[in-house]
């Protein structure tokens, strides 16, 4: 490059026939779509943090039994409604390592409740990789090693114990297994239904479109919760917890698809007229192939972003159903089932720790919302 | 004239939708095997109470539960004559509640009006809160006002309704001396309407309205903010600014009007969620709406009661949606008559 006397720039390189004019000026402009999206997504700090948080949550699920000091239905009959215990490090100025103080229950016959006195003279250091009740790692491998548990003669109720003396912290970890997967199964069902019906309506148009549209309209105009209630009331009471869990997540999904189908349909309506679709059809591609290979990949990422935004609704739905006693039932443990115990004002006032499961619900729902918003923003090619 | 024709058309589609909904609800209600009476008969037989069996058998034929399902449906709606002639929803006979041993109409009675009242209050709350906050958040976007509003909105979306209800009730009572539970002073229940009663109902409505409305208001606020931001980036806004128009006047006169349409149209999405929320919150707070009755009816398979309440809830949302559609057409003449996707 050189500057001429009249301020023009002139390339000094000799002319070559081999220059590739279609190559982008900067090599990083040629990145695949997912990389471009990732670069944008990285800038949404809140969404990134939420994503990492959720990923950690889901990775912990299979090993919840290992992390929890107790199993979900393990009862400590001597410690009903025990308040949360704290883990301390220093005892009377000297370092002991993580320890708890043993607590002692006493019946208060005037108010008819248990009062607990903390014995602050003898710190009881926690034990690690200790033996406890048996659980199944990954749902398959039987094991009885826990990450940490209480030493002999002491208890470790990080978030207190409930009506039957079960550890709230452990139950929250176990409850996450159901509460967090309900959303995933539900969204899968809703995804399949939504894409199938939306694609059919948008691609074929005409009568199919009319029928699907009416169904969507009807389902969307109905309040969800009463329908959820009615459908889950129809689940036979003699079914096992696992069957109930699956059917509840499917019910949640069945009523969620119309929103998705609507989005898919409107996308299809506009994409159907594109030339690449015409070309594929002229070359003899069947509708199924056109839809799967040519149309869906066009906006799959958007669908995933919107699915992320509807998972929280399902988590909240499961919680509400279980809370009302029509969703999952004991002995299954979910956050909603746990909150069922905190249903009255008395438990909020006296045993406030039984309402702790609301914290993970709020945090997870918030995280899903942030993640979904971030995904949507970074998938939009028109936004800087 | 066009508007009238559109109104009639919407009314017609609403009735059609309601008809499909009635079929759906009837099927859902009859999904569980058996019905209240056959369960009861089996139980009575097992305990050897012959007198009860006779009564249950009588009710079974009286309410046509021994006929095929489609005939039951026709009789329930009132298309076909039942054992006592036409006596279905269309004729204003809502059926019999086996659980309470009283006609359904008598049980729900006042609860219907209170349900409408609670939902109306919640919708009003949503608009009153979401409108100023949404506009403010857009006008002052990316300042602390926007961030605070956004954060509160997210929190409102994420907190389960029923927990919010419990917590607000507890603290509302502790610090503001708000009444706990119910929709009116128990002493005033069953009394004729009086100034006292109205005051009591209004005072009891504060917490439920807030709880039911919060998530709706949060969602509404976010959408209004997004719509406003879209409008604010358009050239005409810049022109108005360049010409020296006062910001608040400019905001109210142009962008707000355009952003307002989706705001009205949204009630179609808002209302179902709202009614859902009111059912849940009513159960938790013991409001005398139809929520608690629905729950007991569903749990005990009291089919006529459950089906009627579900129908009523559906009707409520359908009417609300229709009103919002009509309002939208009045507000925005660009919207094509007859097509909702425009």
Tell me, yes or no, if A325 comes closer than 8 A to chain B by beta carbon.
yes
Q: To the nearest whole number, what is the mean pLDDT of chain B?
A: 80
Residues in B touching A326 (Cβ below 8 Å): 295, 298-299
CB contact under 8 A, B280 and A343: no
Q: Cβ-count burial of A340 within 10 angstroms (0-12 exposed, 13-18 middle, 19+ buried)?
A: buried
* Residue scoring higher pLDDT (B332 or B214): B214
Q: What is the pLDDT of residue B334?
A: 64
Residues in A touching B273 (Cβ below 8 Å): 223-224
User: Residue A222: which of B33, B166, B272 has the nearest Cβ?
Assistant: B272
pLDDT tens string A146-179: 888 877 777 788 888 888 888 888 889 888 888 8
Residues in A touching B284 (Cβ below 8 Å): 343
User: Residue B20: which of A218, A319, A361 has the nearest Cβ?
Assistant: A218
Terminal-to-terminal C-alpha distance of chain B: 20
pLDDT band at B155 (very low <50, low <70, confident <90, very high): confident
Q: What is the pTM of this model?
A: 0.81
Question: What residue has token string 């909105």?
Answer: B153
Q: What is the pLDDT of residue B342?
A: 36
Q: How far is CA A176 from CA A110, A130, A159, A319, B71, in A?
A: 38, 23, 15, 11, 46
Check whether B196 has a pLDDT greater than 70: yes
CB contact under 8 A, A223 and B273: yes
CB within 8 Å of chain B, chain A residues 112-171: none
Helix/strand/coil (H/E/C) assignment for every residue in chain B:
CHHHHHHHHHHHHHHHHHHHHHHHHHHHHCCCCCCHHHHHHHHHHHHCCHHHHHHHHHHHHHCCCCCCHHHHHHHHHCCCCEECECCCHHHCCCCEECCCCEEHHHHHHHHHHHHHHHHHHHHHHHHHHHHHHHHHHHHCCCCHHHHHHHHHHHHHHHCCHHHHHHHHHHHHHHHHCCCCCCCCCHHHCCCCCCHHHHHHHHHHHHHHHHHHHHHHHHHHHHHHHHHHHHHHCCHHHHHHHHCCCCHHHHHHHCHHHHHHHHHHHCHHHHHHHHHHHHHHHHHHHCCCCHHHHHHHHHHCCCHHHHHHHHHHHHHHHHHHHHHHHHHHHHHCCCCCCCCCCC
Tell me, yes or no, if B158 comes closer than 8 A to chain A by beta carbon.
yes
Distance of residue B229 Cα from the nearest chain A Cα, in angstroms: 14
pLDDT band at A382 (very low <50, low <70, confident <90, very high): low
Q: What is the pLDDT of residue A271?
A: 82
Q: To the nearest whole number, what is the mean pLDDT of chain A?
A: 82
CB contact under 8 A, A223 and B314: yes
Q: Minimal Cα distance from A251: which residue of B? A: B28
CB contact under 8 A, A236 and B280: no
CB contact under 8 A, A222 and B167: no
Q: What is the mean pLDDT of residues B60-68?
A: 77
Could you tell me if the ipTM is greater than 0.90?
no
Chain A interface disruption, residue of B276, B279, B299, most A CBs within 10 A? B276
Q: What is the mean pLDDT of residues B2-20?
A: 87
Count Cβ–Cβ pairs < 8 Å, chain A vs chain B: 123
Specify the range with the lowest mean pLDDT, choosing from A111-120, A235-244, B68-77, B331-340.
B331-340
* Residue scoring higher pLDDT (B251 or A139): B251
Tell me, yes or no, if B20 comes closer than 8 A to chain A by beta carbon.
yes
Q: What is the pLDDT of residue B338?
A: 45
Q: What is the pLDDT of residue A56?
A: 92
Distance of residue A349 Cα from the nearest chain B Cα, in angstroms: 8
User: Residue A348: which of B32, B167, B340 has the nearest Cβ?
Assistant: B167
Q: Which residues, 6+ apart, have CB-to-CB distance to B319 below 8 Å? A: B14
Q: What is the mean pLDDT of residues B43-67?
A: 76
Q: What is the pLDDT of residue A378?
A: 83
pLDDT band at B84 (very low <50, low <70, confident <90, very high): confident
pLDDT tens string A327-350: 787 778 888 888 887 777 677 777
Check whether B62 has a pLDDT greater than 70: yes
Check whether A49 has a pLDDT greater than 90: yes
User: Residue B294: which of A229, A266, A339 has the nearest Cβ?
Assistant: A229
Q: What is the pLDDT of residue B341?
A: 44
Collapsing DSSP states into helix, strand and coil, what is residue A98?
A: strand
Q: What is the mean pLDDT of residues A208-227?
A: 82
CB–CB of B276/A220 below 8 Å? Answer: no
Check whether B336 has a pLDDT greater than 70: no
Helix/strand/coil (H/E/C) assignment for every residue in A220-242:
HCCCHHHHHHHHHHCCCCCCCHH
Q: What is the pLDDT of residue B340?
A: 43
Share of chain B above pLDDT 70, in %: 93
pLDDT tens string A51-96: 999 999 999 888 888 888 888 887 777 777 888 887 778 777 777 7
Q: What is the pLDDT of residue B189?
A: 67
CB contact under 8 A, A230 and B272: no
pLDDT band at B181 (very low <50, low <70, confident <90, very high): low
Q: What is the pLDDT of residue A86?
A: 78
Q: Which residues, 6+ apart, have CB-to-CB distance to A19 below 8 Å? A: none
Residues in B touching A233 (Cβ below 8 Å): 32, 298-299, 301, 306
Considering A310-324, A333-347, B171-185, B189-203, the range whose residues carry the highest mean pLDDT is A310-324
| A141-149 and A127-137 strand pairing | antiparallel
Task: Report the alpha-carbon angle A362-A363-A364, nearest 5.
Answer: 95
Q: What is the mean pLDDT of residues B229-247?
A: 86
Considering A66-80, A357-371, B108-122, the range whose residues carry the highest mean pLDDT is A357-371
Q: What is the pLDDT of residue A41?
A: 85
pLDDT tens string B259-285: 777 777 777 777 888 888 888 888 877
Q: How many helices (H) and strands (E) does chain A have?
A: 14, 9
Q: What is the pLDDT of residue A253?
A: 86
């Amino acid at each position: 490059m050189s500057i001429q006397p009249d301020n023009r720039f002139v390339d000094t390189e000799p002319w070559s026939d081999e220059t590739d004019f279609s190559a982008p000026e900067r090599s990083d402009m040629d990145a695949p779509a997912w990389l471009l999206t990732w670069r944008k997504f990285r800038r949404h700090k809140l969404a990134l943090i939420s994503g990492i948080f959720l990923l950690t949550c889901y990775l912990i699920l299979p090993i919840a039994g290992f992390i929890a000091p107790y199993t979900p239905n393990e009862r400590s009959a001597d410690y009903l409604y025990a308040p949360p215990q704290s883990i301390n490090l220093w005892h009377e100025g000297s370092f002991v390592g993580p320890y708890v103080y043993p607590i002692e229950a006493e019946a208060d016959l005037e108010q008819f409740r248990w009062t607990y006195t903390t014995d602050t003279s003898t710190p009881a250091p926690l034990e690690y990789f200790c033996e406890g009740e048996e659980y199944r790692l990954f749902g398959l491998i039987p094991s009885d090693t826990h990450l940490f548990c209480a030493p002999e003669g002491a208890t470790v109720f990080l978030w207190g114990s409930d009506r039957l003396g079960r550890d709230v912290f452990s139950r929250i970890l176990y409850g996450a297994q159901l509460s967090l997967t309900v959303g995933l199964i539900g969204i899968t069902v809703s995804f399949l239904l939504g894409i199938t019906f939306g694609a059919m309506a948008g691609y074929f148009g005409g009568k199919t479109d009319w029928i699907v549209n009416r169904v969507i309209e009807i389902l969307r105009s109905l309040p969800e919760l009463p329908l959820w209630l009615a459908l889950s009331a129809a689940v036979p009471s003699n079914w096992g917890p696992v069957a109930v869990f699956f059917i509840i997540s499917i019910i949640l999904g069945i009523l969620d698809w119309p929103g998705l189908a609507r989005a898919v349909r409107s996308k299809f309506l506009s994409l159907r007229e594109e030339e690449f679709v015409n070309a594929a059809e002229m070359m003899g591609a069947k509708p199924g192939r056109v839809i799967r290979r040519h149309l869906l990949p066009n906006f799959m990422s958007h669908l995933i972003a919107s699915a992320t935004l509807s998972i929280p609704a399902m988590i909240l739905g499961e919680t509400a159903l279980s809370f009302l006693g029509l969703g999952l039932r004991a002995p299954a443990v979910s956050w909603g089932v746990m909150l069922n115990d905190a249903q009255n004002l008395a438990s909020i006032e006296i045993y406030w720790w039984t309402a702790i499961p609301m914290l993970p619900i709020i945090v997870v729902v918030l995280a899903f919302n942030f993640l979904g918003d971030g995904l949507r923003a970074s998938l939009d090619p028109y936004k800087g | 004239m066009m508007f009238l024709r559109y109104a009639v058309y919407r009314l017609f589609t609403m009735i059609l939708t309601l008809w499909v909904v009635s079929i759906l609800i009837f099927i859902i209600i009859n999904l569980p095997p058996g019905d209240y009476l056959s369960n009861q008969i089996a139980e009575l037989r097992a305990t050897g109470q012959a007198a009860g069996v006779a009564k249950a058998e009588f009710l079974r034929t009286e309410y046509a539960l021994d006929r095929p399902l489609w005939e039951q449906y026709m009789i329930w709606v009132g298309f076909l004559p039942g054992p006592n002639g036409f006596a279905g929803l269309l004729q204003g006979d809502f059926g019999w509640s086996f659980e309470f041993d009283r006609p359904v109409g008598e049980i729900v009675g006042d609860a219907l009006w209170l349900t409408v009242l609670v939902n109306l209050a919640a919708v009003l709350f949503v608009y009153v809160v979401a409108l100023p906050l949404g506009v403010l958040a857009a006008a002052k976007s990316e300042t602390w006002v926007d961030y605070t509003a956004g954060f509160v909105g997210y929190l409102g979306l994420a907190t389960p309704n029923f927990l919010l209800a419990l917590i607000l009730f507890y603290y509302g009572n502790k610090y503001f001396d708000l009444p706990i539970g119910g929709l009116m002073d128990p002493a005033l229940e069953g009394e004729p309407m009086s100034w006292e009663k109205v005051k009591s109902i209004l005072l009891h409505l504060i917490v439920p309205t807030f709880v039911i409305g919060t998530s709706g208001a949060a969602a509404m606020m976010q959408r209004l903010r997004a719509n406003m931001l879209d409008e604010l980036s358009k050239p005409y806004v810049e022109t108005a600014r360049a010409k020296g128009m006062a910001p608040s006047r400019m905001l109210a006169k142009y962008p707000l009007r355009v952003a307002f349409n989706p705001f009205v149209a949204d009630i179609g999405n808002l209302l179902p969620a709202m009614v859902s929320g009111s059912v849940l919150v009513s159960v938790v707070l013991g409001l005398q709406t139809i929520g608690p009755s629905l729950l007991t009816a569903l749990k005990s398979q009291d089919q006529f009661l459950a089906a009627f309440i579900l129908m009523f809830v559906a009707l409520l949302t359908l009417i609300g949606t229709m009103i919002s559609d009509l309002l939208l057409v009045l507000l925005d003449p660009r919207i094509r008559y007859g097509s909702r996707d425009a």
